Structure 1
Amino acid sequence: MKGRSQSPVAASDDSGLSVSDDAAAEPAAFEVDRSGRSLGDVARDRFIQALFDRRIEPGAFLSQNELVKILGVPVGPLRDALRVLQAEGWLTIHARSGIELRKPDFSLVRNSYQLRMILERAAVRSFAEVAPMPRIEDIERRHHEAIEAVRGRELTLDSARELEGVDFGFHMEVVSILANPMIEAAYTQAQRFVQLVRLDREFRLSSPLVIRTLTEHLEIIKACKARDPQAAEAALEVHFGRAMQRAIGFF
């Protein structure tokens, strides 16, 4: 899918998105699917999923028509989704020429981790103060089980994905304590960029790396169990600092 598309462009609006002659016949982006979501939201979700499925490649230059075929969505909803995706930083729309998908780089790693750190600092302090103790203990138990499950073993693709879920799931659980959908949405966005970097760099989890990461989590959990928000925030800062260095090491 890499390389510049040579598809002709009939016309464009202020965004630079092409408008084919039959675009008017396509469903509008505000129409909804059977689940009640707008078709623009469906197109956005399919774009992101296609990235993680490697059906489209980071850094590729595609035409609108190519994306219509890959994602299986009408032109109208796709154009709406592309504007949102550009605002979120997934791609750049070039007037009269096509859509350039973002290629993960050092700045994306740095910016994603910085945003996660800013958002999670407040969350981890609240988590340490008010999270129910059984919930904290359950998270701790799951971490110990995960560490023992991988100690001294080679990871399969399925087990690596499951353990990555433990990693990202822990952070989302901490952020969810704020019960703020705007923060959760921003955090999820930053977390997806981290996943994209790992995917693009063919990042592979190993048993030692998993154990190191989950052990850093346990230091945060330990502070939360002690109801010490300051210590929890300090442990989080250490963890993010090390995690960012590990990610930067792949560039």
Structure 2
Amino acid sequence: MDYVYARVKEDIFDFRLLPGDRFTESQIAERLQVSRTPVREALYRLEREGYVFVHFRNGWSVRPFDFALFESLYELRLVLELASVRKICDSADLSRIEVLKNTWLVAESERVMDSLAAAELDERFHITIVDVADNPEIARVHNDVIERIRIIRRLDFTQGYRIERTYEEHGQILQAMLRHRADQACMLLKSHIEESKAEVRKITIHRLQAARQS
């Protein structure tokens, strides 16, 4: 089931299955050369996560993009991360974020430019900030938000210049936090997230249009 789940989710993330596309369990099972049981289990898991929905006796479809929902999730993400940054900056011990320097405060020749790897590093940066703030409930909600916006966030790293910008912005945020400059760190983080949000919205619309025309 995990294999089928990963493959179908990848198809959705990479726009091989487009928002609104309809399909059946049999079609997925035939394409992946598996039985319908793991396909059904995988699809119900994806339904719980909000990626697909089932039509009674009439197959499945990919859930259409809801940009208003993504806007709300980005707003929630920003609130959670800003609160975490302020708490960290008020702390005397910053050793747990010091390790982030090994990834983000490096020479240009040491930067990771692969889009998927860069997306994973970016996600880890933001998750680490929240985890270091030591509020399990905020971390739980934040992880849920990150999972729900991952489908479009990863598109931010399909352009090389966006990876470079992420390194620069993460470095600036990290340096401000290490100096206990909460207001500056929050200002930089807010700008970083809002810029990323605008970029992924633009790229998502472009990718959807291109996929539908191909």
Give the TM-score taking structure 1 as reference length: 0.63
From 193, 218, 227, the equivalent of 2:180 is 227
Instruction: Go from structure 1 to structure 2 and tell me whether the alpha carbon gap of 1:160 and 1:75 turns closer, same or farther (over 3 Å shift).
Output: closer
Residues 1:175 and 2:133 aligned together: no
Tell me whether 103-112 or 183-192 shows the greater mean CA deviation: 103-112
Q: Which residue of 2 aligns with 1:209?
A: 162
Contact 1:113 1:190 in 2 (8 A): no
Name the aligned partner's letter for residue 121 of structure 1. L
Contact 1:128 1:225 in 2 (8 A): yes
Name the aligned partner's letter for residue 128 of structure 2. E
Instruction: Go from structure 1 to structure 2 and tell me whether the alpha carbon gap of 1:185 and 1:135 turns closer, same or farther (over 3 Å shift).
Output: closer
Over the matched positions of the two proteins, sequence identity in percent amounts to: 24
> In angstroms, what is the RMSD of aligned CA positions?
3.4
Name the aligned partner's letter for residue 118 of structure 2. L
Name the aligned partner's letter for residue 175 of structure 1. V
Q: Which SS does the other structure have where 1:145 is aligned?
A: coil
Deviations 1:30-84 (A, max 9, x none): xxxxxxxxx5x66544532444466x52333110222334456654454344334
Q: How many residues align?
A: 200
Q: Which SS does the other structure have where 2:57 is aligned?
A: coil
Report matched runs for 1:77-156 at 5 Å: 77-104=38-65, 106-107=67-68, 109-130=70-91, 132-145=93-106, 147-149=108-110
Instruction: Go from structure 1 to structure 2 and tell me whether the alpha carbon gap of 1:66 and 1:217 turns closer, same or farther (over 3 Å shift).
Output: same
Q: Which residue of 2 aligns with 1:61?
A: 22
Shift of 1:86: 2.1
Bigger helix share = 2
RCO higher in structure (CA 8 A, sep ≥6) = 2
Q: Which residue of 1 aligns with 2:150?
A: 192
Q: Which SS does the other structure have where 1:249 is aligned?
A: helix
Q: Which residue of 1 aligns with 2:209?
A: none
Deviations 1:71-118 (A, max 9, x none): 566544543443342232201212222111134463454244234223
Report matched runs for 1:6-21 at 5 Å: none
Shift of 1:240: 0.9
Contact 2:9 2:46 in 1 (8 A): no
Q: Which SS does the other structure have where 2:99 is aligned?
A: helix
Q: What is the alpha-carbon distance in structure 2 between the residues aligned to residue 90 and residue 73 of structure 1? A: 21
- Structure 2 unaligned runs (5+)? 206-214
- Structure 1 unaligned runs (5+)? 1-38
Name the aligned partner's letter for residue 231 of structure 1. Q
Contact 1:223 1:229 in 2 (8 A): yes
Q: What is the alpha-carbon distance in structure 2 between the residues aligned to residue 104 and residue 50 of structure 1? A: 15
Q: What is the alpha-carbon distance in structure 2 between the residues aligned to residue 101 and residue 63 of structure 1? A: 11
Q: What is the alpha-carbon distance in structure 2 between the residues aligned to residue 224 and residue 234 of structure 1? A: 11
Q: Which residue of 2 aligns with 1:243?
A: 196
Give the TM-score taking structure 2 as reference length: 0.72
Q: Which residue of 1 aligns with 2:211?
A: none
